[in-house]
Structure 1
Amino acid sequence: MNAIETPPDLAARAGSLSDRAGYDESFLGPVVPLPMPSDPAVETVVLPYTHFTVVHRPDRRLAAATAVCIDGANLLEDVRRDDAWEFDPRLPESQQAGNDIYRNNPLDRGHLVRRLDPVWGSTAEANRANSDTFHFTNAAPQQDIFNQGKKLWLGLENHLLDHAAQFDRKLTVMTGPVLHDSDPPYRGIQVPLRFWKVAAFIQGGQLASTGYVLDQSPDLTRAFERAMAGAKPGDPPPLGPFRTFQVPISDIVQLTSLNFGPLPAADLMPVTRAPAERWKQLESYDDMVLQS
């Protein structure tokens, strides 16, 4: 990026984040690197926070990926929620999707790193992590309707932590939007229609991983056609219901063009069916494949 003169107050705010260590690639023991674009021509900015890191795409004004370390045995559950969303002062505001994207419409600021996931350690550390999750770099537009698919998506980390309880209750979770060229434009950004999540943990002494996709693509039904026909210029794109799938991590690699290091090889969901058939829609957590 070209150098931009930074106002003194912005420089001070940026300096307040200078001590953030971010995601720890060795948190689980085996090295699990940040997911990064396979194409070196894709520009990203790596932004460390408390216990998590955002890999930001300035051209899309959204994250390409996030990665968080979750220490389930030391989570603090009584940290007060802080809904004061802020721009990250380390980036120009023009490269971030701020409140204008979410105002007066049915779009939520969907946390990519879930608020409670990095909230562990000392009280000061946990509070800092809590506040850090409320940067616009850690949000992406999602449908505001709460349904079973979204409930499953939001609770995945809890379920995986419970599964990991027999080991050391540590997870690393990577999450991001699927940034596709065909994503519908709205207020200066393109709204992602799918989101991905990859979890890594130790099982039986070995690195294990699972992958998931949240799909909010609009249903191609008459209701969708009517919504499109009645849409006014500048209206947000109609989004469909949340559908949560467990998918092979190799498919997420194909969807995102991100490098997930050792995680596709450690995937507990074997690739045994044709691509169109192997996505497993989750109706409950009992449907998840957690044993190879």
Structure 2
Amino acid sequence: MATHPDPPPNAETVTRESLANRKGYNDRFLGTAVPLPVPADPGIETVILPYTNFSVVFRPDRKLAAATAVTIDGANLIDVPRNDDWRFDPRLPEAQQAGHPIYQDNPLDKGHLVRRLDPVWGTEASTADQDTFHYTNAAPQMDIFNQGKQLWQGLENFLLEHAENFHRKLTVFTGPVLEDSDPPYRGIKVPLRFWKVAAFMQDGGLAATAYVLDQSPDLTKDAAAQAMAEAARAGDPPPLGAFRTFQVPVLDIADLTGLDLGPLPAADRLPTGVRTARPWTLLESYNDITMPTP
């Protein structure tokens, strides 16, 4: 079992005042408006938290993000040393955030939603790097490192390289699929699936592709439910499985999450025939990804 050490002291004190000038996600970064994803149900409370080159749409009731949005400028990325200095966001009560105790003495990792490398560009690259280490940008993921997780973590690089042929900018939306049935653990419900939508410009128009990471236990539905219940009674982390990464229709992300994805479903470049014949394609390598051709 992995043991995560106590978080190091903050390199800088983060206060409401120090975060006040964060501009957050730029919805016109690609040249056309791509709004932040928000719940389609107006009764679901969210808080918009702007950071440097990205924003988090936070669900206080779940202590996790509903969605994140980051702008990636491939021409101006900067190599910044990793700091691993996780901290609470002072703009929210700590009790509303899934902090270090969720991840302590168990095999759960603080999974970045906005990947650390993605917003680290431009004159505020170092600040962007530090901003990604807020607990509001994390969600519990198993620490198993396998091909499925490698694919998930490398999608932005793959997509940026592809989109670079048409435009050197990329916008990526990521979040957990927040289900009422997610297994409880240490005061939160642990998401079993995560989603990602990448948007870029192609041939003068908006293009989008979508993906799902599934860490559900590799069991039948009934056996999984029983294993989850037994773990909850014992106070153990849920018995999550190996990572499986799928390419899916963008509209499926909206249906799964209940989020309003604005123009993204209509911009889906997954061919209609593929959506019908095999809407969820298991990815075993980047060669399995269906991408639009110019």
TM-score when scaled to structure 1?
0.91
Aligned to 2:42: 40
Mapped partners of 1:228, 1:286: distance in 2: 34
Q: Residue 28 in 1 paired to residue 27 in 2?
A: no
Task: Provide the C-alpha distance between the structure 1 equivalents of 2:14 and 2:237, rounded to a whole number of angstroms.
Answer: 36
Amino acid in structure 1 at the alignment position of 2:265: P
2:16–2:90: 8 Å Cα contact kept in structure 1? yes
Q: Is the 1:248–1:271 contact (alpha carbons within 8 Å) kept by the matching residues of 2?
A: no
What one-letter code is carried by the residue in structure 1 that aligns with 2:249? P
- 1:120-269 matched pairs, under 5 angstroms: 120-122=121-123, 125-220=124-219, 231=231, 233-269=234-270
Kept in 2: contact 1:177–1:195 (CA 8 A): yes
Query: Which residue is 2:93 aligned to?
Result: 92
Query: One-letter code of the match for 2:218?
Result: D
Q: Tell me the secondary structure at the aligned position of residue 245 of structure 1.
A: strand
Which position in structure 2 is the counterpart of 1:107?
Answer: 108
Q: Secondary structure at the match of 1:69?
A: strand
The match for 2:8 is: none
Instruction: Count residues in correspondence.
Output: 279
Structure 2 residue ranges without an equivalent (≥5): 1-12
Q: Which residue of 1 aligns with 2:5?
A: none
Residues 179-229 of structure 1, C-alpha deviations (whole Å, 9 max, x = no match): 000000000000000000000001122110000000001111699699669
User: Distance between the aligned counterparts of 2:223 and 2:249, measured in 1?
Assistant: 31
Please say if 1:57 is aligned against 2:59.
yes
- Tell me the SS of whatever aligns to 1:152: helix
Q: Secondary structure at the match of 2:234?
A: coil
Cα RMSD after superposing both structures:
2.1
Task: Report the 3-state secondary structure (helix = DSSP H, G, I; strand = E; otherwise coil) of the residue aligned with 1:154.
Answer: helix
Aligned to 1:3: none
- SS in structure 2 opposite 1:24? coil
Flag structure 1 segments of 5+ consecutive residues without an equivalent: 1-10
Q: Quick one: distance in 1 between partners of 2:229 and 2:133?
A: 36
Pick one of 67, 70, 75 that aligns with 1:68. Answer: 70
- 1:12–1:115 Cα change, 3 Å: closer
- In the superposition, the TM-score normalised over structure 2's length comes to 0.90
Q: Deviations over 1:19-54 (max 9, x none)?
A: 000000000001000000000000000000000000
Q: Partner letter of residue 82 of structure 1?
A: N
Q: Quick one: percent identity of the two aligned structures?
A: 68
Kindly provide the CA deviation profile for residues 56-88 of structure 1, in whole angstroms up to 9, marking residues without a partner as x: 0000000000000000110002x1101110000
1:272-291 map, 5 Å = 272=273, 277-291=278-292
**Quick one: which amino acid aligns to residue 66 of structure 2?**
A
Contact 2:57 2:67 in 1 (8 A): yes
The answer to whether structure 1 residue 13 and structure 2 residue 15 are counterparts is yes
After TM superposition, the runs of 4+ consecutive aligned structure 1 residues lying more than 3 A away are: 221-232, 270-277
Partner Cα separation in structure 1 for residue 139 and residue 276 of structure 2: 27
Distance 1:98 1:276, change over 3 A: farther
SS in 2 for 1:182: coil
Deviation at 1:233, TM superposition (A): 1.0
